[in-house]
Amino acid sequence: MYIRRLILVLSVLITLAGCQNIALFPEKNTNATKPTIIDPTQAAKRLETQGNYTGAAREYLRLASSVKEPQRQTYQLLAVNTLINGGLLEQAKTELTQVNPITTTLQMQIELAYARVALAENRLDEVNNRLSHITPDALPSNVRAQYYQLQAEILATQGNRIEAVRMLVQVDDLLEKDPFEGRNNQQNIWRTLSMISPQELGKLSLIQGDIFSGWVSLSQITQTTPSNQLAQSINTWRNSYPNHPANRYIVATLLRGGSNSVAGNQSNTTQNNNFSGQQIALLLPLTGNFKPQAEAIRDGIFAMLYNTTGQQPRINVYDTNASNVLQVYQQVTAKGDVSFIIGPLEKEAVKTLATSQSRLPVPTLALNYIDVPVNTANFYQFGLSPEDEASNVASRAWADGYRAAAVLYPETEWGGRVLNAFRMEWQKRGGQIATIEAYKNDFSAPVKRIATNPTVNMVFMAGFSQQLRQLRPYFDYYAATRLPIYSTSHVYTGAPNPQVDKDLNGVIFGDMPWIIAPDAQAQQLQTMLGNSMNDKTAQFKRLYAFGIDAYQLTQQVQALANQPYRQWQGQTGLLSLDATSSVRRQLVWARFVNGIPTNLQSGYNLQ
């Protein structure tokens, strides 16, 4: 996610040196009203915010046609960078040829724009060559900010997120007097830090009073501190870093809606985060087709309950499906003694409940996502969505520096959903879809077409382990080992089997920490579940982790809802809450080596 957002921010940072701001100053009169200065670029900025990059660029070019140099070049370069943000690279290159570099500063900014295009097209040699013509210290501060943001993007593309943060911290100093751009840059610093694990951050040497160290320390606090202690920990951090730039925007957002300030808040948040001695209702389909999945989720929830010290809530389980969900929900909430509801699970049951009223009487965590927009208060969605995983693949491959994707997917309804999710996220980031190939019974022909396409520099291979073990060797057969292959967790059964999985060697995929890198708690819970897990398929193994996180989210969801930058490390991934009150996961990444998934640490260079 990081790089796409960074590109969006870059668009509004293009303010050229030598431009003149024209303002009318009235005669000095203490009773006079200050004139209102209208920003002529407002319409273009609004169009770009709406995703209409072509319209925004057209508006900038209209402005360019109505003014003289050097203001003309200002608007031309705004149009160029808007087109780059929208992935319209050919149009951007065409418009760049029309910009007259009448000053050294303009020439440097043209080089920056060409470097952005080259980076989007994965031509790193050209990027470095373009940047070599720029002397950042000779640039005005706003232009220098653009330069360092591009450098940060390059570092993140190479997987070096820590150094990207260092670079963005330099940018923050340059934008101190620009509140709007400063806020955007700090959001990028924070998002980048959130992609770095607490373990990796813990390896850094911190210096008291150092700005970069302050950012790292604050990120560690928010990733590892229990929600009921977060405000106190942040205030302790503020005492250690009283003049830190994060106090301007990020800290205020983190503290907004904290435990002391949300009392009586009627927003879509849990009203009580301490469920000790209270009741949780669990709505699951314990009969019917989804019984095995429901039982695995239930077992995960109770394993977490029994593994937690101190007084715990009582959990009552109700057999719930799409036909009786409203009746069961009303029965559960009628007495007023239930503090939180987990479920339902079936998609139709979730949809029925979510659309039944504008506000649910009890905070409710549904265990699936629905495909209709809802704005129901006290309603949250959490699931193990293949679409989410496909979006994760797009984000990871983009961060790894690839720009031209081939998609290989099964010709099924599931495959179509995964394809669309990957394509949407990939194109949103500016990536190009070089080719799309469906497979059914013939695995050879679609792989051959991908292997012989010279524009492709990465492959998203969707499907399940049994199919993909047969597909993957065809890339070797057609001498396409140059292409990195990415997949979702469905490529791996969840249980090591190197004898058969050796055919997947080299495939990179995202999965749960529970599967790839279980921590001490996960290992303890897996031991506790023991025989129950052995009796289930590997597919259901992931549902135990899903249940564990569902239970813990009853105590985390308020903090996630009230603090937009907060993330929480669960067994299914690094969790956050989006604007639709849906829980989103960031996965752990692994690559098959000798038939065994090997954890890829953050910052691993796939080259």
Residue 493 has a CB neighbour count (10 Å cut-off) of 18
**Contact yes or no for 281/320 (Cβ under 8 A):** no
**Chain center to CA of 127:** 26
Determine, yes or no, domain membership for 424: yes
Each residue of 32-71: pLDDT tens digit? 444 444 578 878 877 876 668 888 899 999 999 999 998 8
Q: Give the per-residue pLDDT at 180.
A: 63
Give me the mean pLDDT over the 312-334 stretch.
Answer: 93
Whether residue 313 contacts residue 278, with contact meaning beta carbons closer than 8 Å, is answered with: yes
454 and 596 in one domain? yes
pTM of the model: 0.64
CA distances (Å), 352 to each of 324, 325, 327, 341, 374, in order? 10, 8, 11, 15, 11
- Do 351 and 398 share a domain, yes or no? no
Q: How many residues does the chain have?
A: 607
Among residues of the chain, what percentage have pLDDT more than 70?
Answer: 86
Where among 164, 194, 224 does a domain terminate?
194
Weakest-pLDDT range from 185-199, 312-326, 391-405, 416-430: 185-199
Q: What is the domain count for the chain? A: 4
The winner for highest mean pLDDT among 57-71, 82-96, 117-131, 302-316 is 57-71
Q: Coil, strand, or helix at residue 315?
A: strand
Residue 273 pLDDT greater than 70, yes or no: no
- Residue 37 inside a domain? The answer is no
The CATH number covering residue 171 comes to: 1.25.40.10
My answer on whether 217 and 295 are in the same domain is no
Last residue of a domain, one of 155, 175, 194: 194
Q: Taking the CB of residue 538, how many other CB atoms lie within 10 A of it? A: 14
CB contact at 8 A, 517 and 545: no
Domain for residue 393, yes or no? yes
* Cα angle, residue 293 at apex, residues 376 and 534 outer, rounded to 5°: 145
Does 292 lie in the same domain as 362?
Answer: yes
DSSP string, 461-472: E-S-HHHHHHHT
What are 281's strand-pairing partners? 316, 341
In this structure, the answer to whether residues 239 and 372 fall within a common structural domain is no
Indicate the helix (H) or strand (E) that contains 150: helix 141-157
Can you list the alpha helix ranges (DSSP code H) found in 250-324?
Answer: 250-255, 291-306
Residue 271 placed within a domain: no
Measured CA to CA, the distance from residue 547 to residue 394 in angstroms comes to 27
Q: What is the pLDDT of residue 312?
A: 81
Domain that holds residue 202: 198-255
How many helices, marked H, and strands, marked E, lie in the chain?
Answer: 27, 15
Beta carbons within 8 Å of 5's beta carbon, 6+ residues apart: 187, 188, 191
> Which one, of 315, 319, 277, lies nearest residue 295 by Cα?
319
In-domain check, residue 420: yes
Tell me, rounded to whole angstroms, the distance of Cα 185 from its chain centroid: 16
Q: What is the pLDDT of residues 463-501, one digit of tens each?
A: 999 999 999 999 999 999 899 999 999 999 998 999 999
Tell me the sheet residues that pair with 576: 584
Residue 376 forms part of a structural domain:
yes
Residues 322 and 441 placed together within one structural domain of the fold: no
Q: Are residues 8 and 142 in the same domain?
A: yes
Does the pLDDT of residue 14 top 50, yes or no? Answer: no
In this structure, the answer to whether residues 529 and 488 fall within a common structural domain is no
- Count of Cβ atoms closer than 10 Å to residue 98 Cβ: 13
Task: Kindly report, residue by residue over 94-126, the tens digit of the pLDDT.
Answer: 999 999 988 888 899 899 999 988 887 767 788
Given a cut of 50, whether residue 13 has pLDDT beyond it is: no
Per DSSP, the three-state class of 433 is strand
Do 426 and 306 lie in a common domain? Answer: no
Name the β-bridge partners of 439.
410
Question: Where is the domain boundary, 167, 194, 221?
Answer: 194
Instruction: Measure the CA–CA gap between 560 and 552, rounded to whole angstroms.
Output: 12
Task: Judge whether residue 365 has pLDDT over 90.
Answer: yes
pLDDT at 564: 66
Question: Is residue 394 in some structural domain?
Answer: yes
Determine the Cα–Cα distance for residues 297 and 286; give it in Å rounded to an integer.
Answer: 11
Residue 208 lies in a domain: yes
Looking at residue 461, which CATH number applies to its domain?
Answer: 3.40.50.2300
Residues 331 and 414 placed together within one structural domain of the fold: no
Q: How confident is the model at residue 260 (pLDDT cuts 50, 70, 90)?
A: very low
The continuous run of DSSP H or E covering 73 comes out as helix 71-85
